[in-house]
């Protein structure tokens, strides 16, 4: 049951698209006390909930800190911040859905495109407050029998999650620094020569001509369509980046057309807003304006026509290195500083001035959108920009390629964007703590509809190490988006930069072995509005230890994972809510297994091993692997198994690219009896055996 409450005159976000089962009771908001301040039009609101001592708060999607969000303050205010330290309040997304579980159990979605602050026991340990910036918003209270049920209700209301093509669940190699076709060829060759699986190579900003969207630098990439074909022949998909800002340059068609048609965001005086990003001075397409959005979305065709079938949208918070008007003021003020003695006040004043050049909240108040026929100031809808950029692409892809799924993911997002694409977790760092942060984000993202997601494996900023890379892959082999990406200037982190090729081949290879299960679980989760990565408490309600377990997750219906995320560890403590069978995987052909009883265990895990824990009466379809997703397809699959009485698994399989996904058509029901007989019924013709 979902109850809807409207405050003021909210801006439609199109996050909620299915209204069936949503009631507007007209009564007082349950659970919360509500306070408002400000004038009639510009009220800001504060919702307050008194938390019980043991209450747990889940959700809020892409954010720092734990699975339990208690004890910190989170701001939904999409921000380009490449240092995800514990002290931050905001990353690239605004995912305003959370669940309270304890004395009472309910879900809350605050549908507000403006800045919204969630103080989850930060100011007062026992109080949760939600403060919505000036303007209206819609509050949805979701109730259900269980945490999982509440999430499903909510997910149903926001619509089906994006399903990528299957190749996009293969391994991808990326680096901000690949500049030429030749460099990319070498990356691919190294993988193929060493039999390390690979399905995609990402093209960061250097492929473009002077960082202009939808252009390809012909000197570095002569005969681009030919190069795309050459890669396709090797089963490699090239995935170019698209940035939000459009370079201001005479003769550049996207810029000229955008100006001519009035599709860029404008200032109060009607002139285009000028910001600075990679290309230098840019205009921002008005992604909220339907016509402009369609226009921008159609531009992707320029690359699709050259054979491209996947994109990542970036810098779409939108990131601002500077706003031009403000920058001029800063330069003037700096001249004044030149004449001053720089002491405690003036020096720090100057520093703040300089640091305030990028992503300045004041700049976001100086330009406007034309949204649903109304002029609306950017800061009032700031959190929608990345969502609508990705929607621009997603909607046009459907028209351009009605029969084929394309890969699409974004950096900035708002709930609703999950229907059009996935997200990656942004500019993390090569820090051990970020493996855990990556794991802890997954369930919150799933709650908000983002199933296709993953982090920059190995870490984006800072220098990685071989052991960090391997351990991160130990988690990354489970995340739908599995991409090794790093920043320019950092240590290179392709597998061949390190000494133990074999370990990389085997661990990355495991992903391909697990693919029959992971793809099946992914699609089933998307189609049934379920989560693929679950906190233990969602599966074992009432188990007090499961409720506080912050470094293990359930992945789909059959397994639990417990990655190692500490340097020099040779194993870790693991909590088992019930008896489980541990598979210690070294490659698709080398593994051992052992049954462990419920409770706490210290389990060994060397750098070249990945642990998975099977629930009783469950199986995991497991393939032989391959050098790419296509090669990993097989008509004979094995089953990792822990069967005490009987296991029944509905295995979903399809061609991996058709847009219309039909669960019933794609499901094979596999039944395994305790004594080892396997029966299968349904779509897939496959040979099954136990391992
Ligand atoms: C941003 C992206 C990063 C990319 C870089 C250059 O920082 O988050 O992934 O490599 O821009 O395009």
Average pLDDT, the chain: 97
Q: How much of the chain, in percent, has pLDDT values that exceed 70?
A: 100
pLDDT at 40: 66
Going by pLDDT thresholds of 50, 70 and 90, the confidence category of residue 187 is very high
Indicate if the pLDDT at residue 478 is higher than 90.
Answer: yes
pLDDT at 209: 98
- Ligand 1 atom at minimal distance to the Cα of residue 82: 7
- Ligand 1 atom at minimal distance to the Cα of residue 460: 9
CA of 257 to the centre of ligand 1 (A): 26
The CA distance from 312 to 202, in Å, is 9
- Ligand 1 atom at minimal distance to the Cα of residue 243: 12
Please choose, from the candidates 395, 402, 394, 424, the residue with its C-alpha nearest in 3D space to the C-alpha of residue 412.
424
426 lines ligand 1 (CB under 6 A): yes
pLDDT at 27: 87
- Token look-up 């995987």 returns 585
Give me Rg for the CA atoms of the chain. 25
Q: Give the pLDDT confidence of 371-420 residue by residue, as tens digits.
A: 999 999 999 999 999 999 999 999 999 999 999 999 999 999 999 999 99
3-class state of residue 96 by DSSP: coil
Q: Give the pLDDT confidence of 63-108 residue by residue, as tens digits.
A: 999 999 999 999 999 999 999 999 999 999 999 999 999 999 999 9
CA of 387 to the centre of ligand 1 (A): 18
Q: Give the pLDDT confidence of 236-277 residue by residue, as tens digits.
A: 999 999 999 999 999 999 999 999 999 999 999 999 999 999
CA of 314 to the centre of ligand 1 (A): 7
Going by pLDDT thresholds of 50, 70 and 90, the confidence category of residue 579 is very high
Q: Give the pLDDT confidence of 124-178 residue by residue, as tens digits.
A: 999 999 999 999 999 999 999 999 999 999 999 999 999 999 999 999 999 999 9
Which of 240, 314, 462 is the pocket-test mutation for ligand 1 (most atoms within 8 Å of CB)? 314
pLDDT, average across residues 354-369: 97
529 lines ligand 1 (CB under 6 A): no
pLDDT at 158: 98
Name 47's bridge partners. 34, 130
Find the angle CA(581)-CA(584)-CA(590) to the nearest 5 degrees.
120
Q: What is the 3-state secondary structure (H, E, C) of 615-630?
A: CCCEEEEECCCCCCHH
Going by pLDDT thresholds of 50, 70 and 90, the confidence category of residue 683 is confident
Backbone angle region of 152, left / alpha / beta, with phi > 0 → left and psi within -120 to 50 → alpha: alpha
427 lines ligand 1 (CB under 6 A): yes
For 74, the token pair is 């989170």
For 467, the token pair is 């052991």
For 428, the token pair is 């993390």
CA of 511 to the centre of ligand 1 (A): 25
Which of 204, 243, 411, 456 is the pocket-test mutation for ligand 1 (most atoms within 8 Å of CB)? 204
Question: Dihedral sign, CA of 277, 279, 282, 288?
Answer: negative
81 lines ligand 1 (CB under 6 A): no
The CA distance from 7 to 137, in Å, is 5
CA of 461 to the centre of ligand 1 (A): 10
Output the residue whose Cα is nearest ligand 1's atom 5: 176
- Token look-up 């990528």 returns 164
55 lines ligand 1 (CB under 6 A): no
The CA distance from 502 to 481, in Å, is 23
- Ligand 1 atom at minimal distance to the Cα of residue 487: 10
Q: Give the pLDDT confidence of 591-603 residue by residue, as tens digits.
A: 999 999 999 999 9
**Residue 315, CA atoms < 13 Å, CB-side half-sphere:** 25
- Token look-up 């950096």 returns 411
pLDDT at 513: 98
For 649, the token pair is 């698994």
CA of 503 to the centre of ligand 1 (A): 28
Which of 93, 203, 427 is the pocket-test mutation for ligand 1 (most atoms within 8 Å of CB)? 427
CA of 176 to the centre of ligand 1 (A): 7
pLDDT at 42: 73
The CA distance from 106 to 109, in Å, is 10
The CA distance from 126 to 120, in Å, is 8
CA of 531 to the centre of ligand 1 (A): 28
The CA distance from 84 to 82, in Å, is 6
Predicted TM-score (pTM) of this structure:
0.98
The CA distance from 80 to 93, in Å, is 9
pLDDT, average across residues 112-124: 98
411 lines ligand 1 (CB under 6 A): yes
- The neighbour count for residue 584, using CB atoms within 10 Å, is 17
Helix H or strand E segment including 397: helix 385-400
314 lines ligand 1 (CB under 6 A): yes
The CA distance from 414 to 288, in Å, is 13
For 203, the token pair is 């093209």
CA of 383 to the centre of ligand 1 (A): 19
Going by pLDDT thresholds of 50, 70 and 90, the confidence category of residue 199 is very high
The CA distance from 47 to 17, in Å, is 24
Q: How much of the chain, in percent, has pLDDT values that exceed 90?
A: 97
176 lines ligand 1 (CB under 6 A): yes
Name 33's bridge partners. 48
CA of 179 to the centre of ligand 1 (A): 14
Residue 453: asked if its preceding bond is cis (omega within 30°), the reply is no
Indicate if the pLDDT at residue 355 is higher than 70.
Answer: yes
Indicate if the pLDDT at residue 41 is higher than 80.
Answer: no
204 lines ligand 1 (CB under 6 A): yes
317 lines ligand 1 (CB under 6 A): no
* DSSP 3-state percent helix, strand, coil across the chain (nearest 5): 30, 30, 45
Which of 487, 490, 493 is the pocket-test mutation for ligand 1 (most atoms within 8 Å of CB)? 487
pLDDT at 38: 78
- Ligand 1 atom at minimal distance to the Cα of residue 456: 9
The CA distance from 600 to 438, in Å, is 23
């Amino acid at each position: 049951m979902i109850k809807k409450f409207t405050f003021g005159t909210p801006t439609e976000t199109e996050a909620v698209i299915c209204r069936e089962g949503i009631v507007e009771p007209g009564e007082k908001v349950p659970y919360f006390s509500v306070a408002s301040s400000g004038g009639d039009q510009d009220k800001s609101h504060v919702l307050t909930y008194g938390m019980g001592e043991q209450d747990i708060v889940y959700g809020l999607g892409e954010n720092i800190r734990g699975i339990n969000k208690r004890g910190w303050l989170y701001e939904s205010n999409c921000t380009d911040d490449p240092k995800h330290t514990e002290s931050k309040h905001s990353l690239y997304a605004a995912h305003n859905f959370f669940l309270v579980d304890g004395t009472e159990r309910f879900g809350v979605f605050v549908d507000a495109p403006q800045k919204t602050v969630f103080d989850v026991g930060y100011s007062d340990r026992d109080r949760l407050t939600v403060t919505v910036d000036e303007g209206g918003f819609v509050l949805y209270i979701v109730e259900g029998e269980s945490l999982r049920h509440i999430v499903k209700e909510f997910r149903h209301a926001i619509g089906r999650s994006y399903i990528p093509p299957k190749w996009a669940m293969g391994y991808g190699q990326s680096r901000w620094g690949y500049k030429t076709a030749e460099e990319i060829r070498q990356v691919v060759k190294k993988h193929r020569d060493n039999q390390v699986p690979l399905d995609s190579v990402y093209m960061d900003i250097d492929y473009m001509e002077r960082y202009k969207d939808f252009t390809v630098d012909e000197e570095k990439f002569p005969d681009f369509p030919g190069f795309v074909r050459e890669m396709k022949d090797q089963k490699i998909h090239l995935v170019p980046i698209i940035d939000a800002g459009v370079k201001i340059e005479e003769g550049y068609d996207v810029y000229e057309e955008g100006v001519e048609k009035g599709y860029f965001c404008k200032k109060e005086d009607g002139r285009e807003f000028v910001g600075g990003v990679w290309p230098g001075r840019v205009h921002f397409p008005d992604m909220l304006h339907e016509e402009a959005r369609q226009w921008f979305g159609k531009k992707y065709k320029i690359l699709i026509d050259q054979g491209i079938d996947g994109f990542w949208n970036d810098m779409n918070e939108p990131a601002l290195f500077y706003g031009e008007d403000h920058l001029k003021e800063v330069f003037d003020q700096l001249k004044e500083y030149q004449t001053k003695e720089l002491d405690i006040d003036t020096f720090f004043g100057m520093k703040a001035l300089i640091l305030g050049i990028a992503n300045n909240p004041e700049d976001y108040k100086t330009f406007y959108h034309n949204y649903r026929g109304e002029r609306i100031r950017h800061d009032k809808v700031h959190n929608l920009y990345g969502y609508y950029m990705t929607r621009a692409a997603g909607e046009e892809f459907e028209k351009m390629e009605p029969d084929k799924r394309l890969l699409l993911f974004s950096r900035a997002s708002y709930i609703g964007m999950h229907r059009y694409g996935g997200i990656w977790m942004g500019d993390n760092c090569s820090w051990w703590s970020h493996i855990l942060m990556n794991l802890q984000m997954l369930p919150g993202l799933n709650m908000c509809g983002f199933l296709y997601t993953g982090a920059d494996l190995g870490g984006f900023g800072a220098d990685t190490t071989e052991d960090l890379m391997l351990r991160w892959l130990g988690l990354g082999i489970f995340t739908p988006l599995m991409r090794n990406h790093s920043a320019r200037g950092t240590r290179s982190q392709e597998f061949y930069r390190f000494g133990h090729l074999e370990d990389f081949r085997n661990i990355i290879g495991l992903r391909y072995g697990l693919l029959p299960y992971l793809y099946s679980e992914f699609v089933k989760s998307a189609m049934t509005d379920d989560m693929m990565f679950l906190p233990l408490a969602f599966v074992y309600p009432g188990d007090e230890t499961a409720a506080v377990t912050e470094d293990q997750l359930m992945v789909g219906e059959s397994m639990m994972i417990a990655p190692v995320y500490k340097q020099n560890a040779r194993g870790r403590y693991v909590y088992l809510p019930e008896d489980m069978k541990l598979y210690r995987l070294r490659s698709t052909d080398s593994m051992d297994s052992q049954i462990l009883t419920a409770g706490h265990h210290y389990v060994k895990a060397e750098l070249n091993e990945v642990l998975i824990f099977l629930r009783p009466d469950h199986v995991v379809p497991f393939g032989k692997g391959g050098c790419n997703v296509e090669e990993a397809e097989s008509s004979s699959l094995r089953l990792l198994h822990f069967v005490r009485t009987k296991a029944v698994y509905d295995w979903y399989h399809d061609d991996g690219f058709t847009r219309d996904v039909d669960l019933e058509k794609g499901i094979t029901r596999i039944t395994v009896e305790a004594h080892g007989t396997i029966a299968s019924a349904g779509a897939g013709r496959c040979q099954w055996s136990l391992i």
